[in-house]
Chain A
């Protein structure tokens, strides 16, 4: 099974090492990890997607909760969060096939981020599922390179900006 976990951590040197070190040491499978600043400069939000059996998945949240720099650890369901991911995909394409790809890009609201004679780089923004779909759509062409940020998520109830966490 797969699980999306949202961590709010103290923005301290080494906090990422603590999180990454924990998940590797305990042997969890990390599908993605994405970290970045929040509205509060003293806080960082990290979104983790991990996979494993049920016991492991139960353990991982508890172990993360033990990290001293973790302020909040939440298992997120997709219905409780807004999520998104960015992917950059470079495909090899001769000029005459460009239009095909551009129409695929249009369907998914992807942008052309770079272009030369033989290749084209798309920037896709959306749910992980949508990014997957674009990649599937591009599979018949030759994908030369790809980078994905991993999922970032924000719990929906964080709109209420709970003071207790600050």
Chain B
């Protein structure tokens, strides 16, 4: 309880803000203080939730994002005005692209100073406009409680997303008598659009007559918690499924109906199955250009059904014959009731044939250098779907997406839409805080690891047992690969001339670490990484010239595989 004895029952805006967070059930906040939020941090001193001080605001934003993806709850991040707020930008954009529920609270210069180029003033409201679901600049302390209640409601309902609340310093210091919170009513906002019977009936009808239906799964399945309904729907109707990064694990990767990743670095059999399908069932995905590089050569013979909670996604990139607006869990539950299960042996035989004929290519393991894929495979074998796997962005991310066997939702966290290097380490940290009961393994490139490396300090400080595997190919592998294929091996600014000693760096942060260079050592090293207590790091030195295959070049259709 805060001492209010000499304020006549009045409380500061900062205290009211903290109380609103407590009311929203917040357990953990990630953030970084500064002058314009010092009053807020004073109130946090008495808060019931934990505040994790990161080493960079970007780290705090990604950590809140990792926490949210791992738990399904709203992640909370705080930063000071000006530079603190602008450091959140990449984290907000990352969360916005992947529909991750976040509430970001930023300090702002006093309302009287706004617009005067005051010290540490930045228009974060304007800056965050296109990268949030919604945002607020609070100009009246009386509205703080209400705005925060709205922010949490909006972040965690409908199509999830980040909400930013900018709070000027004088709003934090204002003294007022807290008003009882009113229920949140936002006219015109429909987070759970009512299902339309005609849309569902048409979908059921189309399914009945489809001989080669294919489910294309996106983050909406994860967000709506529809994995059980999905499992029944796919297995009872013989529908093979391809899952994007955002849906990995919602349907078990080791099931015969699972086709793995679609698109640019997807399996050939997933892409060929899409191409041959007569009915694409897009479930909470959005036909991103990394999946459908060329919408005309995506599924030329298929009718397209698109189920999404966000009506604006339907018809955005591809023509949709069967739109269904609604929450996936509710839609699938209804479909299960109306559809009579159909067996499709011919289609499943064809799928098997594609899998036999075009398996994922794996490099031979008998060379002198470690193949990056072997590290990822060893991690998959050692964790068996029981861990949360977090990746950064680049080649290692694609190998992880291809090779990690995920069997449950929220166990594979990766920046899909924005492709943010530097996401992995802080997100792994946030995931571990949200799920202390699960092992968390970070698979990270040597480039991206250096983009938020400072968070090793936070991990050490809180003794978070994150297991870090650096897939160290000595280069910006994904860029180098494109240069090899499409720019005549002109490796412009993609291969370092000097690389830091990650083992020594980890040591400096107090994190046990080792380097592994021998192919024969890989699986033992992975096991040791997972079995040793506390945070651990292994720097796997791997073959610089390994490429992610298969590959459909940007703008290609589902059969336009690149042959090297």
Let me know if B187 is at the binding interface, CB within 8 A. Answer: yes
Per the CB 8 Å criterion, the residue count for chain A at the interface is: 21
Nearest neighbor of A61 in chain B, beta-carbon distance: B312
Q: Are A58 and B139 in contact (CB under 8 A)?
A: no
State the main secondary structure of chain A at its contact with B: helix
Interface-located stretch among B13-21, B128-136, B401-409, B453-461: B128-136
Scan A1-40; emit 1 where CB is below 8 A from any B CB, else 0.
0000000001001100110010001000000000000000
Nearest neighbor of A8 in chain B, beta-carbon distance: B188
| Whole-angstrom CA separation of A67 from B135 in the bound complex | 11
Let me know if B186 is at the binding interface, CB within 8 A. Answer: yes
Nearest neighbor of B316 in chain A, beta-carbon distance: A59
Let me know if A105 is at the binding interface, CB within 8 A. Answer: no
Q: Which residues of A contact B137 (CB under 8 A)?
A: 13-14
Q: Are A62 and B312 in contact (CB under 8 A)?
A: yes
Nearest neighbor of A73 in chain B, beta-carbon distance: B188
Let me know if B561 is at the binding interface, CB within 8 A. Answer: no
Q: Residue B139 contacts which of A13, A21, A55 (CB distance < 8 angstroms)?
A: A13
Scan B294-338; emit 1 where CB is below 8 A from any A CB, else 0.
000000000000000011101110000000000000000000000
Per the CB 8 Å criterion, the residue count for chain B at the interface is: 21
| Whole-angstrom CA separation of A71 from B25 in the bound complex | 29
Q: Which residues of A contact B126 (CB under 8 A)?
A: 17
Q: Which residues of A contact B136 (CB under 8 A)?
A: 14
Let me know if B125 is at the binding interface, CB within 8 A. Answer: yes
Q: Which residues of A contact B311 (CB under 8 A)?
A: 62, 65
Q: Which residues of B contact A67 (CB under 8 A)?
A: 134
Give the most central of A21, A59, A66, A67: most B CB within 10 Å: A66
Q: Are A68 and B133 in contact (CB under 8 A)?
A: yes
Q: Are A68 and B130 in contact (CB under 8 A)?
A: no
The verdict on A21 contacting B133 (CB below 8 Å), with A62-B312, A65-B312, A71-B187 known, is: no
Q: Are A165 and B315 in contact (CB under 8 A)?
A: no
Q: Are A59 and B312 in contact (CB under 8 A)?
A: yes
**Shortest 9 CB-CB contacts between residues of A and residues of B:** A62-B312, A71-B188, A68-B134, A21-B129, A71-B187, A25-B130, A63-B312, A62-B311, A66-B312
Beyond A18-B129, A59-B312, 19 extra complex contacts between A and B, CB < 8 Å: A10-B187, A14-B125, A14-B129, A14-B137, A17-B125, A17-B129, A25-B130, A55-B315, A62-B311, A62-B312, A62-B314, A65-B188, A66-B312, A67-B134, A68-B134, A69-B134, A71-B187, A71-B188, A165-B187
What residues of chain A have their CB less than 8 Å away from a CB belonging to chain B?
Answer: 10, 13-14, 17-18, 21, 25, 55, 58-59, 62-63, 65-72, 165
